[in-house]
Each structure stands twice: as C-alpha cells, then as structure tokens.
Amino acid sequence: MQPRWFSHFLRLISVGPVLRLLGLHPFENLHFRPAEMWIRELLLIEGNVRAADVLTPTFLQKVATVAGLDYQQLEKCQLSDLLSWRYQQALQPFCSTEIFIEPARRHAKSYVLAKFKQELAELVAWLWNGGSLWGAPEGLLSPQGNLGPVTAALRRLLQAGPPDMCVLPIFIAYDFMTVRRTRIFVDLAPPN
C-alpha cells in the first residue's frame, strides 16, 4: 500500500503468471482475503452486475466512506467500477464472504472451494512426479506473533501424496536486532 505511487505502478503488472512459471503456487486463505480479491472472483462468477445487487449495504457504506463518495452514487456502480484506483485503498482490508448478499455469497464460497480443490490436485500431481514443495502449514500468525491453527491442506497433501514422501520440518527466525544486513537462522529437524 505504501508508497502509493509504487502501489499504483505494481497494480498494472500481473505477476501471477510469472510466479506460476517459476513454480510458485501460493495457497490463498479460503476465508479471509482482501475485498478486492473477492470482487475480482465474483466478476468471473456473476458477471458485471450492479454492486448493490451482490454487495451488502454495510460494506458499500464502508467503501463509500473510505473513498470519500456518496453511498447512493456507489450503489449504482457496476461491480467492475469498484476495481478502479479510487477504491483500491478501501478494498485492501481482509474480509470474508460476509460482504456479499445471498446468493452471491454462496456462489463465492463454492468458487473458492472448487479453486482450492483444483490447486490441491495440481500440488499432489507435482509430488507424484517427484517434485518438492515448501509450505507453512501453521496457517496465519496472529498480530501478537502466536501461531494460528494448522490448516487442513497439509493433512490432505500427506494423505494424497506418494507413500515415500519425506517431510523436513524447518524453523526460520530473523535477527532484527542487527543494524546492517538482517540475518536469517534456519533450524532443521530430522525428516519424517
């Protein structure tokens, strides 16, 4: 988000295809994501409908307040209009499908679940073909630095992966106390 000029420049570049070409396949959180991501996906599902027909009045009011616009004006916008730069800052906070009204909420949940299953199948196929993965199964860190619950993705990968698959637990710590270059410490546990 900061600096805004750099954020505006990066918005023009689609890095997803480049990351996938390099072999990076990030798993996205199924439940909490930036509102912009939810809206982009809903455009694929529902098409370019009127924003008020799929988004809750409470969410539209928040967007209007952050963007400095009149709520009635925003209500009449098409869904794709919300992807313009003027709404970018308002759509970055993480939220759930609660920003949608039914049946759009149900459609968004179904789409994300289908996408997750497809990505999981691609990762399992990669493992069966001798590939390796790096992942963080602990989920999200809390604002206090506590680990979140372990996600089910690791269990599903272990169940569907090849029987000779090896898991190598690692711990990465950053030394933020040094003045110059940040040091990174990597601890390896015995493979399982």
What is the spatial distance between Cα 95 and Cα 55, in angstroms, rounded to a whole number?
A: 13
Give residue 189's pLDDT: 83
Among residues 160, 45, 48, 55, the alpha carbon closest in space to that of 110 is found at 45
Q: Is residue 133 part of a domain?
A: yes
**Would residue 69 count as lying in a domain?**
yes
Q: For residue 10, tell me if it sits in a domain.
A: yes
Q: What is the pLDDT of residues 14-26, one digit of tens each?
A: 777 777 777 776 6
Structure tokens at 57: 């009045």
- Within a domain: residue 42? yes
Higher pLDDT, 26 or 67: 67
State residue 130 phi and psi, 5-degree precision. Answer: 90, 5
> Which is more confident, 19 or 169?
169
Confidence of residue 183 (pLDDT cuts 50, 70, 90): confident
Sequence-distant (≥ 6) Cβ neighbours of residue 72 within 8 angstroms: none
Residue 145 lies in a domain: no
Can you tell me the mean pLDDT for 56-69? 93
For residue 114, the SS3 value is helix
- For the chain, what percent of residues have pLDDT higher than 70? 83
Q: Half-sphere exposure (CA, 13 Å, Cβ side) for 138?
A: 10
The tens digit of pLDDT for each residue in 4-14 reads: 677 767 767 77
Q: What amino acid occupies position 13?
A: I
What are 81's two structure tokens?
Answer: 């209009």
For residue range 117-127, list pLDDT tens digits in order: 898 898 899 89
**Over 70: is that where the pLDDT of 69 sits?**
yes
Mean pLDDT of the chain: 84
- What pLDDT, on the 0 to 100 scale, is given for residue 79? 93
Count of domains forming the chain:
1
Structural domain including 46 reads: 4-139+151-188
Instruction: Give the relative orientation of helices 104-128 and 35-46 as an angle to the nearest 10 degrees.
Output: 100
Question: What pLDDT sits at residue 161?
Answer: 92
Q: Tell me the whole-structure pTM to 2 decimals.
A: 0.70
> What is the 8-class DSSP label of residue 31?
S
